[in-house]
Structure 1
């Protein structure tokens, strides 16, 4: 299948999920994309599915299989454990996947999705939001080219419980905390610069203060400090790389989830048409998931985990 820009047809998308992230990113981006036909919405709450679909002239579906029948690709904005079930069904039917992070909580579930996508020629992209912004892509390319980095640091401390925060009622975020919510973004930022992770050590304290040490295969060390329940005076988002060339801070970028999601769709269409896989494909998403799962195991078992 070729994109409209290549003289082909639009990629038919189904959206699974009706929560805040579906409203803020997925649905408006799918509706605005020139190479997408936004076919329909499935949600665990049929009324919410009808409301979201109606905003964009799409159809609300009560049956997952029926929506899969009508599309080429799925975008999923569901909790990780629910997403994993839907993604496995879709991959098994050869549907292209645009998944949220993390792909799943369990490594085994993620591996099953990756295998099903490979067996059925389904392309996949994982939506690590900032990684799709051109400013971050340029920064990472330049940082890799400079080389000589000995250390990475990512502080991602915020709160989903502030007044008006759309994610404050997210059950999975409350239960899993910053490790699984903002942790995927942090790991996705350091891997392209410092390379694969060999060992993981982690501790969790009060107010979801989660501290993770990563030893990369090349010898560099990354320090992650994560929370989605940080006190207001501790909230911060800072990332930097340290090495022979000094300190290189990750630049701030505007919060533009619709633009970022549109770029993720672009990557998926290219891969589905036989082009190169996205740098943020299912294999990369699985690598991030293995690091997070190792951190969770380290926290629960009080030991360093070797990957």
Structure 2
């Protein structure tokens, strides 16, 4: 499969490009970015070509990997799907529900495969744990804390305009939802409040299976307090999401494997664009609750 990379920012440099260039079943065919010089530099580092014209790249590849802000990603994903390119997308799928629906509509119209990269869903230990807990099914409640130090530590993402605007709800909220939804089921009601430092958000989810979950999300945590925890409580007792032995580059390679399999078989992956849209809908519902919060 010939694949192109759209985006040249820190995540593209740290994860996407190394994973794509090192994958044995891919031809890393080119890079396009909104900054031409950055695209040329990244392409040179990985022995591929930089494209000034996005349509020219889309015409040359079978798939695209996207490492761009969600509002940019969604529009370009629609464009790529209509050029019959399979889609390896990042979370969140889109910045609005309307944009997310446009991506899903383009995927369905063209029949291309899609995978959204929720990191924990492509790491072996968390992936196995999620499947095991989903099979058990009898959970009473869950607690998820996803705390980052993006705005308090030395993070390459601190200057990201969309993270400054959207905050932890949209940046790390998708990670928490990607773990909770397959275990506890879909969400039928959301409440949310912005209590605490910076962009810290608390949400309560009412799941269709009867369980509830609480989320604490922040990009403003002290570096020493950063980290992710998911705890489930039910008839089986208490269990915690395990840490992964693999880094993000290895996980992205697994996401690429999933895209290859979906393109080859025609069977959608559980983390496809439709799942990404559902996550976007829940984030938007929480965001609406925050807008009604008098504080």
TM-score by shorter chain over 0.5 = yes
Q: Using the TM superposition, name which of 167-176 and 290-299 deviates more.
A: 167-176
Q: Provide Cα deviations, 1:239-262, integer angstroms capped at 9, x if missing partner.
A: 111111111111111351111111
1:298 to 278, 289, 292: 289
Which residue matches 2:277? 286
Q: Provide Cα deviations, 1:90-111, integer angstroms capped at 9, x if missing partner.
A: 1112210000000101111111
- RMSD over aligned Cα, in angstroms? 1.4
Q: CA deviation at 1:233?
A: 5.3
Q: Provide Cα deviations, 1:193-243, integer angstroms capped at 9, x if missing partner.
A: 000100011111332110011100111111000000123454342111111
Which residue matches 1:230? 221
Matches within 5 A, 1:1-307: 11-205=1-195, 206-232=197-223, 234-254=225-245, 256-302=247-293
Number of residue pairs the alignment of both structures matches: 293
- 1:208–1:230 CA contact under 8 A, matched in 2: no
- 1:14–1:67 CA contact under 8 A, matched in 2: yes
Q: Measured at CA, do residues 230 and 15 of structure 1 come closer, stay the same or move farther in structure 2, by a change above 3 Å?
A: same
Q: Measured at CA, do residues 51 and 293 of structure 1 come closer, stay the same or move farther in structure 2, by a change above 3 Å?
A: same
SS in 2 for 1:199: strand
Q: Using the TM superposition, name which of 245-254 and 40-49 deviates more.
A: 245-254
In 2, distance between residues paired with 1:102 and 1:201? 20
Q: CA deviation at 1:16?
A: 0.4
Q: Using the TM superposition, name which of 82-91 and 236-245 deviates more.
A: 236-245
The TM-score with structure 2 as length reference comes to 0.96
SS in 2 for 1:173: helix
SS in 2 for 1:50: helix
In 1, distance between residues paired with 2:191 and 2:177? 14
In 2, distance between residues paired with 1:71 and 1:234? 43
In 2, distance between residues paired with 1:121 and 1:232? 43
Q: CA deviation at 1:146?
A: 2.1
SS in 2 for 1:23: helix
SS in 2 for 1:104: coil
Q: CA deviation at 1:273?
A: 1.1
In 2, distance between residues paired with 1:146 and 1:72? 39
- 2:202–2:217 CA contact under 8 A, matched in 1: yes
Unaligned runs of 5+ in 2: none
Q: Using the TM superposition, name which of 158-167 and 290-299 deviates more.
A: 158-167
- 1:140–1:193 CA contact under 8 A, matched in 2: yes
SS in 2 for 1:94: coil
